[in-house]
Structures are given as C-alpha cells and as structure tokens.
Amino acid sequence: MNAPIPAHLVPKLEPRPVPPAMLEALTARFGQRCSSALAVREQHGRDESPFDVPPPELVVYCESTDEVAAVVKLADQHTVPVIPYGAGSSLEGHLLAVQGGVSIDLSRMNRIIAVQPDDLTVTVQAGVTRMQLNDEIRHSGLFFPIDPGADASIGGMSATRASGTNAVRYGTMRENVLGLTVVTAQGEVIHTGTRARKSSAGYDLTRLMVGSEGTLGVMTEITLKLYPQPEAMSAATCTFPSVDAAVRTTIQVIQMGVPIARCELLDANAVRAVNRHDKLTLTEAPMLLMEFHGSDAAVKEQAATVQDIASELGGEGFHWATTPEERSKLWTARHHAYFAALQMKPGCRCVTTDTCVPISRLAQCINETVVEVDASGLPYFIVGHVGDGNFHVGYLIDPNLPEERDTAERLNLQLVERALRMEGTCTGEHGIGLHKMDFLVTEAGAGAVGMMRTLKRALDPHNIMNPGKIFAT
C-alpha cells in the first residue's frame, strides 16, 4: 500500500470521466489497444513515487504520431485528461491520473527513425529507451550519454529534463535535445527545432517543451545529439573517512578543471545496500565512483590527478576497472542503489528528493542534511551526481505508519529550504510532478509561477494535458 496523497492536493482530484461517445470512438479505432482492464490501468497508474492515486480510466497504446493526435483531439473535444506514459520510472508522481482520464502509452513507439553519424545526431520515437538507443547505434562508434539510471524512455527523459551520472561532462536533456515532434492539446502536430546545433529563429519551443512534464503537449519524436565513443574509459572507486571528505574531493576535482565524465557519491548506507543486492564486497564507507573518458594518456593523467587529490583528503583503497565488464559491474551496482535500498527495509516505500546546489556549497548542504536525518532515526541513504552539485536522499518509510511519512516530509522540506538558501534548486533532475509544487513557488516566486500558468492556459485551455502536475490549477 502506498502512502496517501498529500491533503493539500485532495481538493484537486475531481475526476473527469471518459464519456461513452469517446470510449466508443477509441474502441472503434484502436480495438484491443484500448484497454479498461484493471490490471492494465493499475500498471499505468503507478510510478516510483510514494503516492496512492486511482488509476486512469483507459489506457491507449499508440504506435504513431497520428494515433496520438487522434486520441488528443477526442480528449480535447470531451475535456478529458490525457497522461503520456513511457517506462513508468518517474519518482514524483508525474504519470498519476489525479483527475482520471486516458493514459497514452508510447512504449510501442520504439523505432529509431534516422541516424546521421556525420552530424552526430539521431531522431527517435518517444518510446525508445536509452539502453535500446545505445545498443542500436553502437556499431556507428557513437553513443548517447544521458544516463538517469533507470532504463527510461527518451520521451520521459525529455519531459522531465533528466540528466544522471554523465551530466557533469555531457550536460542534461536540456542541452542534448535539438528538436521535437509534439502533439498539442488541440491534437495538432508541430515540429520544434532542427538538426542544426544552434538557431535564433523565434521562441525556443524545444526548450519550453523539454521539462514540461507532459503538461503542454505529447512529445512523439525527439532529435538528439550524439557523441563519439571515447578512445579509452576507466572507472575507479575510492573510499573516504566521511561524506564530507568525499564531497570536498569532488569540489577540488571540479575546481581544478579535471574533465571527469562521472563522479558519483554513495554513502555507507547505499554501499551496504548494493553489496547485499549485487553480492559485492565494496568497503562499507562513503565512496566515490568515478569514470574518465578520453585518450589513453588523458585518462591516465586525469586519474592520477584525482587520486592525488583524494589521497590528501583521506581517500584510500583505489580500485580501478578498465575492462568493459568491470566497469559495467560497478555502474550496474550504482544504478541498482535505489532498489537495493528498498530491500534494506522490506515492505517500505521511499520518499526521495534531489536538490542541486552550487558546487561550492555542496559539502555544507550534505553535512547539515546528514546531521538532521541521523537525529531523526529514520533509515535513509544518500547517492549523488556530486560532480554537478546534485544529490539524492532516500527516506525509507513504512507506508502504514503516518508518523514516518510525516518525518520524511519534514526532512525533505528542511533539505529543500536549505538548498534554496544556498541558491540551489528543489529538483536537479526529477522534476516537480505532484510532490514539489509548493517548493516551486518558494523557489521561483509567485510571479514566475503565474507566468507558467499563463503559458499553460494559453496552450491548453481545457487543462487536459497531464493536469495537476507542476501546479495544481
């Protein structure tokens, strides 16, 4: 059983049912690809957030942009909500049907449309996952670096402006999406951006859609930047006497301009969890997991510099992984950290946060957070893409104990407030969804959120596009 949806959202949950005429039209066009089966609806009404919300009324499996447009046109005519669905891996309630409606499943739109290796670009349908994309373009000598951990869909990653482990070197989805095909709230198909690396032509609609969490339109095709596969890659782990020492090492590495590709923090709790989950024997202490890309000489130089910095701050037990198999084992363990942590407290749910602060404030932010959460007595773990100041705290709660949920939310609030005081953000990569609407107002201000609402109402006057996300109305 999930934790109940926060009380301040309950008044916004009035459902907008699918009328018989719309159901009849969808069934006639999609046949068995339009489902009202409870099991299918429940699958599409649940993500990795701790919220318990009734599932959508219908699920429609679309296989083309034209089919998405047909569903949205009907929804607009009948003022019925539509919620895009990719892989279901979001953490902030993005895909929950808070007003009922239709879940548009894009997972069958999983075709790579065109690879342009000379231009380092690729165009894919929204249901393509990041692992599928890299598997299919590996022969070209190129790769797509954005790696949020879960095998998320490219559409979902674009909708939440995801980033992940490689962001310190390659940026986020914001920097790596060049163009989009989008179905608007009226069912019109539009195209934003081009394959050119820059443009000054009008409003930047691509950036407007990337990170909009499905509230302005449904992205069906995405054009992405690709990168040459590095000549050499090396991963390393290093343990530290404290989280503070690990973070300060990271800060010095970044400030010295070392072009490290990945720099991930796992606290002792996270290391303990992945050891049990993946049957590893890592030292159960705060750890940095790093990766270096470049020529053989450059990788060796970067690694030596980082090792010197880490040693001065108490880092020890450097372990190098240079073969693809060794690197894959380490990174698979890192990506399993969330699910590994859930197994540390059977039956629990995880309340997560993902603040991001300027790199110079990272150590202070994490240190103060650790003091608070240790004092609470609540089980937790910390992982972070600390190379760009982004870290996650997962609070493990018993969903049947409201007091644990209250404690987790209090800690989450204190952490976000701390990050904002340090000129950071309430979310580095997960997005706002249901969980962080109040935080958005605190961070951006009422005027900026009002401007967002104005855009939403102009582009989606019937409020059918994933309503109740980013802001309640």
pLDDT tens per residue, range 46-105: 888 878 889 999 999 999 999 999 999 999 999 999 999 999 988 889 999 999 999 999
Phi, psi of 318 (to 5 degrees): -55, 130
Contact in structure between 57 and 66 (CB atoms under 8 Å)? no
- Rounded CA-CA distance 136/32 in Å is 30
- Mean pLDDT in residue range 399-413: 93
Percent of the chain with pLDDT strictly greater than 70:
97
The per-residue pLDDT for range 280-305, each reduced to its tens digit, is 888 999 999 999 999 999 998 998 99
> 32-36, 240-244, 335-339, 420-424 — which is least confidently predicted?
335-339
Look at 326 and 12; give whichever has higher pLDDT.
326
User: What pLDDT is attached to residue 327?
Assistant: 84
Q: Which of 3, 4, 1, 7 is nearest to 472 (CA)?
A: 7
9 has pLDDT over 90:
no
Q: What is the DSSP string of 255-299?
A: HTT---SEEEEE-HHHHHHHHHHHT----SS-EEEEEEEE-HHHH
User: What pLDDT is attached to residue 13?
Assistant: 62
221 has pLDDT over 50:
yes
3 has pLDDT over 50:
no
User: What pLDDT is attached to residue 50?
Assistant: 77
Phi, psi of 213 (to 5 degrees): 60, 35
Q: What tokens appear for 233 in the block?
A: 């890659």
- Mean pLDDT in residue range 308-337: 87
Contact in structure between 157 and 181 (CB atoms under 8 Å)? no
10 has pLDDT over 50:
no
User: What pLDDT is attached to residue 12?
Assistant: 54
- Beta-sheet pairing, 58-61 with 102-105: parallel
pLDDT band, very low/low/confident/very high, at 6 (cuts 50, 70, 90): low
- Mean pLDDT in residue range 5-14: 53
Contact in structure between 148 and 170 (CB atoms under 8 Å)? no
User: How buried is 111 (Cβ within 10 angstroms: 0-12 exposed, 13-18 middle, 19+ buried)?
Assistant: middle
- Mean pLDDT in residue range 171-187: 97
270 has pLDDT over 60:
yes
Q: Which of 438, 434, 437, 473 is nearest to 453 (CA)?
A: 473
Q: What is the CA 132 to chain-centroid distance, rounded?
A: 17
- Average pLDDT score over the chain: 92
The per-residue pLDDT for range 189-209, each reduced to its tens digit, is 999 999 998 999 999 999 999
- Mean pLDDT in residue range 146-156: 91
323 has pLDDT over 90:
no
Query: Facing residues of 125 across strands?
Result: 221
What proportions of the chain, in percent to the nearest 5, are helix, strand and coil? Answer: 40, 25, 35
Considering 121-135, 244-258, 353-367, the range whose residues carry the highest mean pLDDT is 121-135
User: What pLDDT is attached to residue 48?
Assistant: 82
Look at 321 and 365; give whichever has higher pLDDT.
365
Q: How many CB atoms lie within 10 A of CB 385?
A: 27
Domains and CATH numbers, the chain: 3-107 (3.30.43.10), 112-228 (3.30.465.10), 232-421 (3.40.462.10)
User: What pLDDT is attached to residue 104?
Assistant: 98
